[in-house]
Amino acid sequence: MGNYYRYRPSMGFGGFVLTPAVKILLIINAALYVIPALLNLDLLATPLGFLYLVPALVLRHGMIWQVFTYMFFHGGFMHFLFNMLTLWMFGTAVEQAWGTRRFAAYYLLCGVAAGICVVLVALFSRSGLVSATIGSSGAIYGLILAFGLLFPDTPVYFMFLFPLPAKYFAILMASIEFFMQWAQPGSGISHIAHLGGMLFGLLYIRLWLPRRGHRHATSSWGSEQLPWTVRVGQGYRRWQLRRARRRFDVYMREQERTKEERGREDRWVH
């Protein structure tokens, strides 16, 4: 089992858990979003714009660092908020299962693989060559894939309403991205980056980890190590089961009383 199931101490209070790599990633992403927003800076018009992913600059001018640096910038508040919430919710569980070093490597490699996919697809699109791509979504979707493989039966609430086992949640997210890539190729969202991150994650977990002597799934986790959102879902399901059990007990007692009353009525008649 070795380091694969190593549990790292985490910082938190109550149900809030913040593991080391997730904490550092949150700080970096927050700094690169909040500071320019407060200063009202257009980073694309500054030298930092060369950290965005522009396929033409990568292919023609050798700015290969862009396939790495682009994942730490975000274009809007909702884009930033969704990615950081997902990083926290899924990343904490994956990091606690794998350990900080392996988790960090996986996250960054998923982001790089997503960036490479963007560059390769841009070769077939003239407009795509000069379009700037930013955001950690490729790495985030890789985390969703990893969580689905590590904890396949853990309930995840899709749109915070519909509970799905994590494995089906990951499949649903991949299916949506695949459909949107072909239905709305010019939507301004890099669906190919999302799919690229998930594809790399699948290959990494299915092919690379077994060669390193590590299993890709585990059922030995305690509920206290899972994100609070997952634990809330599990707690809600347990509450539903307890309520159903109480209703069933009440029903059975009523049936027993009904039988006893019928028995007394029959004896009275006779």
The residue ranges of every structural domain in the chain are 15-223, 227-270
When computed from its CA atoms, the radius of gyration of the chain, rounded to whole angstroms, is 25
Q: Which amino acid is at 95?
A: E
CATH topology of domain 15-223: Rhomboid-like fold (1.20.1540)
pTM for the full predicted model: 0.72
Which pLDDT value is given to residue 25? 97
pLDDT in tens for each of the 270 residues of the chain? 333 333 333 333 334 578 999 999 999 999 999 999 898 888 877 888 899 999 999 999 999 999 999 999 998 899 999 999 999 989 999 999 999 999 999 999 999 999 999 999 888 877 678 888 999 999 999 999 999 999 998 888 777 677 888 999 999 999 988 887 766 665 667 788 999 999 999 999 988 776 665 554 444 344 444 554 455 455 556 656 666 777 767 767 777 776 666 555 444 444
8, 20 Cβ separation under 8 angstroms: yes
| CA dihedral for 13, 16, 21, 23, sign (positive or negative) | negative
* Bridge partner residues of 164 (DSSP): 156
Res 14: pLDDT: 37
